Amino acid sequence: MDAAAIHSGYQSHPTGPMRWLTSTNHKDIGTLYLWFSLSMFLVAGSLAMLIRAELFQPGLQLVQPGLFNQLTTMHGLLMIFGAIMPAFVGFANWQVPLMIGAPDMAFPRLNNWSFWLLPAAACLMLSSFFVPGGATSGGWTMYPPLYIQGGIAYDMTIFAIHIMGLSSILGAINIIVTILNLRTPGMKLMTMPIFVWTWLITAYLLVAVMPVLASVVTMLLTDRHFGTHFFDAAGGGDPVMFQHLFWFFGHPEVYIMILPAFGIVSTIIPTFARKPLFGYVSMVYAVASIAILSFLVWAHHMFTSGLPAGAQIFFMYSTMLIAVPTGVKVFNWVATLWRGSISFETPMLFALAMVCLFTIGGFSGLVLAMVPVDVQLQDTYYVVAHFHYVLFAGAALSIMGGIYYWLPKWTGHMYDERLGQIHFWLTAIACNITFFPMHFLGLAGMPRRIPDYAPQFADFNMMASVGGFVLGASQLLFLYTVIKCIRGGAAAGDKPWEGATTLEWTLPSPAPYHSFTTPPTLEPDNHHGHA
Amino acid sequence: MVTPSPYYQPPPSLWPAVGSLALLAFASGFVLFLAKAGAGPYLMLAGGLLLVVMLYGWFGMVIEESLAGKLEGQVDKSFRWGMVWFIFSEVMFFAGFFAALFYARYIAVPDLVTAQSIWPGYLGGWPTAGPGSKEAFTPMAAWGIPAVNTMILLSSGASVTWAHWGLQNGRRWQIVLGLLMTVLLGLIFLGLQAHEYLEAAFSIRTGIYGATFFMLTGFHGAHVTLGAIMLSVILGRVLAGHFTADSHFAFAAASWYWHFVDVVWLLLFTFVYCL
């Protein structure tokens, strides 16, 4: 490979830690993103284990309420900004250049910076557990006035969010430019793989809303330390204004975490159904519609914050409208399966589980969209159940499916199919045992973010905790399976999945360090997974 | 076999990691400073200096690559797209603060007027320091220095475009003069803004009016400063003979940024000063 690299005019890359610290290679940087994400997933997951241990029984057993609030807050922040978002950026780094036939990302050095900003932000967030007063405990949504009153850790979280926001914006710009400018000749926007489409739209959402998050946390910072009154009624400000600005970021953020998942599932299902993706064009329009609508629904997070009735009705209907394009996607996945020659390898199992379970999360979202129902369910475990079905069963299961799907291409080895299937079934079953009872708890009135609860909630909580422990332990099997695959295994061959059609499968496995140094020629009958 | 890619692949670089370290040091220093720990300002200074070193090294490297002709064609197009999306992200950053201004004026303050049981006698209106504030203050008038500043920034937008025409037509004196005028007008603007800040009869603590006024104009001023630095670098590069009529991405990017800062000011002048 070195000979080829020299021949093609590439400088050889350093080895050891410097390879990773200075890398301008999309595959190396993608790998860094994915490992960072997995480590944050395990850290934030450990916090969830502590939460479930405390909630195993009524009463205060393990942690004090203050620490409990730190655990829920940091679990949310680390999972969102540390685990899920970086995982999808890792996929984008590995896959977008391979799928569009590009030599690398458009700005390889900037790509490196986008990644290495994340450990800096993680340092600030994780070390905040050890400062006076402990970590941020005001909830991941950072509402004032609580957030104005907290200690040093709150400042650390604000700066961490600034840095992670910079990382996301730079990464998103890089992805947009790569997709718009580096496609191989002949690949039009409406013929590029669906995963690339979902990331183009996700990146647009990131560039549009991460700066708004930056501005609103800056207002928090100045309210805390520099005497501004943005969120203080005595000065003419309004704490509800924070919620508007935050959720203007926060709701598109939900789609930032699910659209790439749609892209992964839309790639896996056609491969294992051995049929082109049904309704490619409608899939693209559905993703675009979801993205546009996501800017018009934010106040459904605030139905109990005191909105005028007209606003409540508007946001209720606009929220319900999102079910239409989302429904288009679910129907198209099912139609892709219809009369396909389906086989059930691990990636397919994860993709199918995602379609079923994400749909449950989508439906509970529709329930919550109804104002009178939401007034009852706001801040109960029903909401916790809803967003875990969307973010764990939707985003995290797709990430795992995507890992199994592309690991052979990345490592050159097949993963252990038996271990993969065990991991799948443990995860899928445990995830339902953990999160399904939370619907009942919420309907029965159990509030979220509390370390203790009334005795009538005990049984379902114990069930959720047992499920949670199994779910957590199963991820160690995932870690083991991934490491085992990296270290060895059956040779994968160029194209281990005979139903796959995208460009990465035309390369050897593992994909060479530099690929598509000249743009590949598209075969006329290559449809990139759609008709 | 494989022919070299026409798309430039930069070699491995340590600058991004240096940048991350700089931001970590700066942010940690800021946290310590806010917690009133003695080491805070020093750590901030160290982080800030390291960031400057990183920017100097990184941009210097890009300039060398540009001079070596590695950033032409498709790479140049990437840079142009990248700058457009970066400016869009900046637009959204300001949008957050403008949203706060509009929300406070048209929703929060009128709501507080209706809450007479909590804030008896509060009349609302704009500008306001909020119902908790007893002291009167004089808001910033639009038709003094701010109007002059509007003319100054609009003229600077014209002069940077005039410099661009000079570049396209190969008239070097016109580029230099145009850029020099633009930077000078930017500095005069900043001087007048500083004067206005010092003379202001209210502060950032003056309720929601003071908060929105100083945060919006403050961030705008920071962006003018950044734009003036960019244009100064471009001026230096013009004097070093760096640009041609066909190849001048950096010039274009800096002038786009300057126009963006201009447009933000027009919105500020309308919504913060006039209305």
End-to-end CA distance of chain B: 67
The beta-carbon neighbor of B131 closest among A24, A207, A234 is A234
Inter-chain CB pairs, A–B, below 8 Å: 240
Residue of A167, A267, A411, A465 with catalytic role: A167
Do B140 and B252 share a domain, yes or no? Answer: yes
Which residues on B lie below 8 Å from A231 (Cβ)? none
The radius of gyration computed from the CA coordinates of chain B, to the nearest angstrom, equals: 23
- Percent over 70 (pLDDT), chain B: 98
Residue B8 CA to its chain's centroid (Å): 30
Helix, coil or strand: residue A221 = helix
**Do the domain assignments include residue B157?**
yes
Look at residue B6 in the predicted model and tell me its pLDDT.
77
pLDDT at B3: 47
Separation CA A376–CA B13 (nearest Å): 55
Buried b (16+ CB within 10 A) or exposed e, A90-117: bbbbbbbbbbbbbbbbbbbbbbbbbbbb
Residue at a domain's end among B30, B46, B70: B70
Active site residue A423: no
What pLDDT, on a 0 to 100 scale, did the predictor assign at position A518? 86
Section A150-179 average pLDDT: 97
The CATH number of A20-506 is which of 3.30.750.210, 1.10.1380.10, 1.20.210.10, 3.40.47.10?
Answer: 1.20.210.10
A18 contact residues in B (CB cutoff 8 A): 12, 14
Last residue of one domain, picked from the residues B22, B44, B70: B70
pLDDT of A8 higher than 50: no
| Rounded Cα distance, A244 and A239, in Å | 9
Residue A341 annotated as catalytic:
no
Using CB atoms, pick whichever of A22, A162, A236 lies closest to residue B109. A236
Phi, psi of A494 (to 5 degrees): -60, -40
Q: Most B CBs within 10 Å: which of A12, A109, A166, A249, as the mutation test of the B interface?
A: A109
Which chain B residues are Cβ-neighbours of A116 within 8 angstroms? Answer: 16-17, 19-20
- With beta carbons less than 8 A apart as the criterion, state whether A395 and A351 touch: no
Confidence (pLDDT) at A7: 42
Q: Is A344 helix (H, G, I), strand (E, B) or coil?
A: coil
Residues B27, B159, single domain; the answer is no
Same domain, B116 and B129: yes
pLDDT confidence tier of residue A523, bands split at 50, 70 and 90: confident
Mind telling me how many Å the CA of A143 is from chain B's nearest CA?
15
- pLDDT tens by residue, A419-457: 999 999 999 999 999 999 999 999 999 999 999 999 999
Co-location of B190 and B114 in the same domain: yes
Q: Mutate one of B3, B30, B86, B92 to test the A interface: name it (highest A CB count within 10 A).
A: B92
Residue B127 preceded by cis peptide, ω within 30: yes
Residues of A in contact with B204 (CB under 8 A): 222, 226-228
Considering only CB atoms, A207 lies closest to which of B3, B88, B107, namely: B88
On average, the pLDDT of chain B sits at: 94
Q: What b/e string do you get for B6-40 counting C-beta neighbours within 10 Å, with b at 16 or more? A: ebbbbebbebbbbbbbbbbbbbbbbbbbbeeeeeb
Q: Is residue B137 part of a domain?
A: yes
Strand partners, A530: A277
Query: Are B218 and B98 members of one domain?
Result: yes
CB contact under 8 A, A237 and B130: yes
Judge: A169–B16 Cβ closer than 8 Å, yes or no.
no
The two structure tokens encoding residue B104: 């406070």
Mark whether B40 and B165 lie in a shared domain.
no
- Name the residue type at position A62: L
Q: Closest Cα partner for A330 from A255, A381, A269, A382?
A: A269
Is residue B3 assigned to a domain? Answer: no
- pLDDT (0 to 100) of residue A521: 87
Mean pLDDT, all residues of chain A: 95
Domain shared by B37 and B102, yes or no: no
Nearest CB neighbour to A177, from listed B82, B92, B204: B82
Instruction: Give the distance from residue A236's alpha carbon to the nearest chain B alpha carbon, in angstroms.
Output: 4
Please indicate whether residue A7 is annotated as part of the active site. no
For B130, the closest of A155, A225, A236 (CB atoms) is: A236
**Looking at residue B250, which CATH number applies to its domain?**
1.20.120.80
CA–CA separation, B265 and B247 (whole Å): 29
**A243-271 residue pLDDT tens:** 999 999 999 999 999 999 999 999 999 99
Question: For A353-370, how does the pLDDT look when each residue is reduced to its tens digit (9 = 90+)?
Answer: 999 999 999 999 999 999
CATH number of the domain to which B31 belongs? 1.10.287.70
Tell me: do B124 and B244 sit in the same domain.
Answer: yes
Distance from the Cα of B68 to chain A's closest Cα (Å) equals 15
| Co-location of B172 and B200 in the same domain | yes
Cα–Cα distance list, A334 to A331, A340, A343 (Å): 5, 10, 15
- ipTM score assigned to the predicted complex: 0.95
Give tens-digit pLDDT for A10-29: 557 888 999 999 999 999 99
CA distance B209 to B206: 6
Residues B154, B256 within the same domain: yes
Give pLDDT, residue A13: 83
pLDDT, tens digit (0-9, with 9 covering 90-100), for A68-88: 999 999 999 999 999 999 999
| Region B29-52 average pLDDT | 96
pLDDT at A528 over 60: no
Tokens matching residue B143: 């038709």
- pLDDT at residue B2, as a whole number: 45
DSSP states along A140-200: TT--TTHHHH--HHHHHHHHHHHHHHHHHHHHHHHHHHHHHH-PPTT--GGGS-HHHHHHH
Q: B66 and B78, same structural domain?
A: no
3-state secondary structure of A87: helix
A255 in active site: yes
Q: Return the higher-pLDDT residue of B3 and A335.
A: A335
Check A26, A52, A75, A439 and give the catalytic one.
A75
pLDDT digits (tens, 9 = 90+) for B133-170: 888 899 998 899 999 999 999 999 999 999 999 999 99
Query: Given this model, what pLDDT does residue B134 score?
Result: 83
- Contact between A293 and A321 under an 8 Å Cβ cutoff? The reply is yes
Chain B residues with beta carbon closer than 8 angstroms to that of A106: 78, 81-82
pLDDT at position A527, please? 54
Beta partners for residue A491, in sequence order: A413
A309-A310-A311 Cα angle (round to 5): 90
DSSP letter for each residue of chain B: -PPPPSS--PPP-SHHHHHHHHHHHHHHHHHHHHTT-TTHHHHHHHHHHHHHHHHHHHHHHHHHHHHTTTT-THHHHHHHHHHHHHHHHHHHHHHHHHHHHHHIIIIIHHHHHH-TTTSTT----SS---TT--S--PPPPSTTHHHHHHHHHHHHHHHHHHHHHHHHTT-HHHHHHHHHHHHHHHHHHHHHHHHHHHH-SS-TTSHHHHHHHHHHHHHHHHHHHHHHHHHHHHHHHHHTT---SS--HHHHHHHHHHHHHHHHHHHHIIIIII-
Residue B27: inside a domain: yes
The string of pLDDT tens digits covering residues B54-69 is 999 999 999 999 999 9
> What is the pLDDT averaged over residues B103-124?
94
If you write DSSP's letter for every residue of A363-407 in order, what string do you get? HHHHHHHSHHHHHHHTTBHHHHHHHHHHIIIIIIHHHHHHHHHHH
pLDDT, tens digit (0-9, with 9 covering 90-100), for A275-286: 999 999 999 999
Q: Per the domain annotation, does B7 fall within a domain?
A: no
**A289 counts as catalytic:** no
**Single-letter residue type at A57:** Q
Least CB-CB distance to A22: which of B14, B74, B104?
B14
* Tokens, residue A23: 């890398």
Domain check: are B209 and B98 in the same one? yes
3-state secondary structure of A55: coil
Q: Is B1 among the domain residues?
A: no
User: What gap in Å lies between CA A125 and CA A156, rounded to an integer?
Assistant: 6
- For residues B20, B22, B27, B30, the Cα torsion angle rounded to the nearest 10 degrees is 180
The answer as to whether B6 is a domain residue is no
What is the distance of C-alpha B234 from the center of its chain?
16
In the predicted model, is pLDDT for residue A6 greater than 90? no
Mean pLDDT, residues A144-162: 95
Instruction: Judge whether A134 and A157 are in contact, CB under 8 Å.
Output: no
Q: Look up residue B73 and give its two tokens.
A: 């064609």
- Each residue of A223-242: pLDDT tens digit? 999 999 999 999 999 999 99
- Chain B residues touching A112 at Cβ < 8 A: 13, 16-17
Residue with more model confidence, A7 or A162: A162
For A168, name the nearest residue in chain B, comparing CA atoms only: B89
Q: What is the largest CA-CA distance in chain A?
A: 72
Tens digits of residue pLDDT in B215-229: 999 999 999 999 999
Residue B204 placed within a domain: yes
Amino acid letter, residue B3: T
The residue with tokens 């409540």 is A312
8 Å CB contact of A514 and B9? yes
Residue B153 has which token pair?
């920034």
Range of the domain at B154: 74-274
Q: Mark whether A253 is an active-site residue.
A: yes
- Indicate yes or no: CB of A116 within 8 angstroms of CB of B28: no
- Supply the DSSP symbol for A84: I
- Whether the per-residue pLDDT at B79 is higher than 50: the answer is yes
Last residue of a domain, one of B33, B53, B70: B70
- As for how many domains chain B has, the answer is 2
Question: At residue A145, what is the residue type?
Answer: P
Q: What is the full DSSP assignment across A270-312?
A: HHHHTSPBTTHHHHHHHHHHHHHHGGG-GGGG-TTS---HHHH
Average pLDDT over residues B198-210: 94
Q: Which one of A155, A253, A374, A504 is the catalytic residue?
A: A253
Residue A481 and residue A415 in contact, taking contact as beta carbons nearer than 8 Å? yes
Name the catalytic one among A183, A301, A388, A423: A301
Cβ A254 vs Cβ A300: under 8 Å: no
The two three-digit tokens of residue A273, written as one number? 């159904």
Report pLDDT digits (tens) over A98-122. Answer: 999 999 999 999 999 999 999 999 9
Chain B residue with CA closest to A19: the answer is B12
Q: Are A43 and A129 in contact (CB under 8 A)?
A: no
Listed by start position, the domains of chain A span 20-506
